[in-house]
Amino acid sequence: MDALGLVNAAFDLVVIVLLPAVALGAVMSADLFKAIILFITLGLLLALTWVRLAAPDVALAEAAIGSGLMGALLLSARERLARTRPGRDRRTSHYPRWMTHPPPRRSHRAVSPWAASGLVLIAVAGLTAAVVTLPHEAAGLAPEVARQTPQRDLANQVTFVLLDARGYDTLLEIGVLLLAVAAVWSLGEAPEPPQNAAGPMLQGFVGTVGPIMVLVAGYLLWAGTDAPGGAFQAGVMLGALGVLLSLAGRHPLARLPGWALRLAVVSGPMLFLAVGVTMIGLGRHFLEYPQAHAKALILLIEATAMISIGVILVSLYAGGRPLSDESGTRKGRL
């Protein structure tokens, strides 16, 4: 083994040791804040792992969604939990108890820890058996994908698989996000965002970084056709910008009337579906694109999906229906 291989092996070993340790810490920690920070760390370690496995697409998605936005969502949920006085808050009094009360430390566990550990052990044993009995040198689907991927137009094999060969995967993922927004909006209205929390530093930071983030989102979308990137990564970039703007006290969706917000949320999946159904009408399969227009169609779908994903993520972060819905005025904050 040469020097570089040795360094890589040492790096991998560190990651392999850290991954379960951090995961355990996140699960076992009684302090919610500590658990969330460890969860964010776990996401970053996972992203590193994907990089080492030569899967930059997955690494980007994991770092942006699994670590960044999930972290922001968890932190805001924890902060909201701390602000909520159980049973008294008008907005949350109809919530089920488990949502407004901190988890009990040791009382009435629903599942015995032994049963849970047993299930996990069985799962681990099954996975281990599956990995051990994997055929060596299995070719997998990689050659087939490489053969099918068009050479010039859509050179990124991951994008090709996700949007052309298995487009319904991506469609369903956006569908899940849509369902999540519907669930969050049906739980209640968004909490009043903290006023004057952010000073000039954060606002200046958003002013500096915001334009760059928009640029990066556009780049990720465009590059997604022949390099790592795509609608999800780009949408998360926009979503993160939206979260930053909310934190800086400039709620990005506040000026949108309700119908525009809802249109932005559903336009991505709707266009996706419309194109798919049109293809059936033209005598093709669902979500099968004609070779000549594949790139243009996929870019169009991805651009709309990016907007939808960004708006959905910001709506999720807001944590409830936009306030304007009840008052009827257009000054609602989100």
Partner 1 sequence: MEAIDLVTGVGLVLGAFFFCAGTIALLRFPDIYTRLHALTKGDNVGLALVLLALSFQAGSWSEVCALLLIWLLVMVASSTTSFLIAQAAQRKGVKPWTR
Q: Using the rule CB under 8 A, is 209 a contact of partner 1?
A: yes
Question: Of 1, 110, 201, 292, which lies in the binding site for partner 1, with binding defined by CB under 8 A?
Answer: 201
Instruction: Name the residue nearer to partner 1 (CB basis): 68 or 239.
Output: 68
Instruction: Name the residue nearer to partner 1 (CB basis): 74 or 209.
Output: 209
How many amino acids of this chain bind partner 1 (CB under 8 A)? Answer: 7
Q: Using the rule CB under 8 A, is 199 a contact of partner 1?
A: yes
Instruction: Name the residue nearer to partner 1 (CB basis): 181 or 248.
Output: 248
Instruction: Name the residue nearer to partner 1 (CB basis): 201 or 292.
Output: 201
Q: How far is the CB of 87 from partner 1 (least distance, A)?
A: 26
Contact call for residues 18 and 45 (beta carbons, < 8 A): yes
Pair of tokens at residue 97? 């108890």
Beta bridge partners of 321: 189
Query: Which long-range contacts does 196-204 make (Cβ < 8 Å, 24+ apart)?
Result: 196/249, 197/247, 197/249, 198/247, 198/248, 198/249, 202/244, 202/247, 202/248, 203/248, 203/249, 203/250
Contact call for residues 296 and 213 (beta carbons, < 8 A): no
Q: Using the rule CB under 8 A, is 195 a contact of partner 1?
A: no
Q: Using the rule CB under 8 A, is 110 a contact of partner 1?
A: no
Question: Of 74, 165, 202, 214, which lies in the binding site for partner 1, with binding defined by CB under 8 A?
Answer: 202
Contact call for residues 180 and 312 (beta carbons, < 8 A): yes
Instruction: Name the residue nearer to partner 1 (CB basis): 54 or 201.
Output: 201
Q: Using the rule CB under 8 A, is 208 a contact of partner 1?
A: yes
Q: Using the rule CB under 8 A, is 32 a contact of partner 1?
A: no
Q: How far is the CB of 201 from partner 1 (least distance, A)?
A: 5
Q: What are the C-alpha distances in Å from 203 to residues 209, 217, 245?
A: 10, 20, 8
Burial (CB < 10 A; 0-12, 13-18, 19+), residue 70, is: middle
Q: What are the C-alpha distances in Å from 13 to residues 8, 10, 52?
A: 9, 5, 12
Residue 218, helix vs strand vs coil: helix
Which span (18-26, 199-207, 218-226, 257-265) binds partner 1, by CB under 8 A? Answer: 199-207
Q: Using the rule CB under 8 A, is 4 a contact of partner 1?
A: no
Q: Interface with partner 1 by CB under 8 A: which residues?
A: 199, 201-202, 205, 208-209, 212
